[in-house]
Amino acid sequence: METKQKYERALRVSAQPGRNPGVPLDLDWVRAVRVNRSAVERRAATIPTRRTVKKEWQAAWLLRAVTCIDLTTLQSDDTPTNVLRLCAKAKQPVRRDLLEALGATELGIVVAAVCVYHRYVPTAVAALAGSGLPVAAVSTGFPAGLNPFPQRLEEIRASVEAGAQEIDVVITRAHALAGDWEALYREVKAFREACGDAHLKVILGTGDLATLTNVARASRAAMMAGADFIKTSTGKEAVNATLPVGVVMTRQIREYLDETGHAVGFKPAGGIRSAKGALEWLILMKEELGDEWLRAARFRLGASALLTDIERQLEHFVTGRYSAAHRHPMV
């Protein structure tokens, strides 16, 4: 029965367009969800221990992880030069000699997108011109999301006008903490309208939401409002992407697909720095959502330092030795 359900779900996903159009708010459905924290934590604990990939399979999975990375710089000391170097890395994320040794030079390995502050959108757009790589802009008063609402909408429109093809927005956490799902729905719906043709990635700030039930309900409300992706964190919270939160959010994506027929992507972000960690997220996606969520169209890893460790692991596979981090510069 489970195999049949997965097959039918895969058919629905492959047959539909890339955007989530959203649906009218169903408060009963949002409020109905309950999360058993102990069960979720037990499930999450199996992911690092029960499954593993080795040798050439690990190398292949790591290359797939590279293609799902939103290569990100969101620091207070960002400069145009840093952004330009990040864009160069995005177009050639793995050293060519490693790709040659892996027989992967013809695969066109690039990252999924480059994510920057609004100020650097024009710089990144110019640097990536002709590459086909999209620029993602963090918006709506990132990371707190407490700017005046008209200003938040205008920031989205300005980033889209500057060439951003994806917009990462932050919700007002107070809406989720107060259980005001109508307000959260209206907010995300307005963000979606301001995005126009740009894809909308909604950051829930899960480390601030207090309970996994709040995370589940916020996920449902955001998807109903038209989120193309739901994203765990800004990377600035005390607690960012964790596997228990990933279990909860991916299961809400599955429920939403079964309920509406619309597929939504998932993006964990913050604290994902190791190749091993990236593999754990890929395993979670495969087991909870299926192979369609092992591609950049449905899955992103928000990261920067992660790419360095993946390159080091690939070099170890090729040479049998771990190289120094400076052999794999990021910026």
Whether the per-residue pLDDT at 55 is higher than 90: the answer is no
pLDDT tens-place string over residues 204-225? 999 999 999 999 999 999 999 9
Cβ neighbours, 10 Å, residue 240: 20
Position 11 scores a pLDDT of 46
Position 304 scores a pLDDT of 86
Average pLDDT value for residue range 35-47: 96
For domain 25-327, which CATH number applies: 1.10.8.420, 2.60.120.330, 3.40.980.10, 3.20.20.70? 3.20.20.70
- What is the crossing angle of helices 55-67 and 305-319, to 10°? 150
Q: Which of 160, 216, 158, 149 is nearest to 189 (CA)?
A: 149
Position 4 scores a pLDDT of 52
Average pLDDT value for residue range 263-283: 96
- Of 111 and 56, more confident: 111
Average pLDDT value for residue range 303-317: 93
- Of 170 and 16, more confident: 170
Whether the per-residue pLDDT at 16 is higher than 50: the answer is no
Contacts of residue 189, Cβ cutoff 8 Å, sequence gap at least 6: 22, 225, 226
| H-state helical runs in the chain | 2-15, 27-32, 37-50, 55-67, 80-91, 96-102, 121-127, 149-161, 173-177, 181-195, 212-224, 243-260, 275-288, 305-319
**DSSP type of residue 295:** S
Average pLDDT, the chain: 93
Position 7 scores a pLDDT of 46
- Of 297 and 51, more confident: 297
Whether the per-residue pLDDT at 1 is higher than 50: the answer is no
Q: Give me the active site residues, please.
A: 168, 231, 267
Q: How is the chain split into domains, by residue range?
A: 25-327
Share of the chain above pLDDT 90, in %: 88
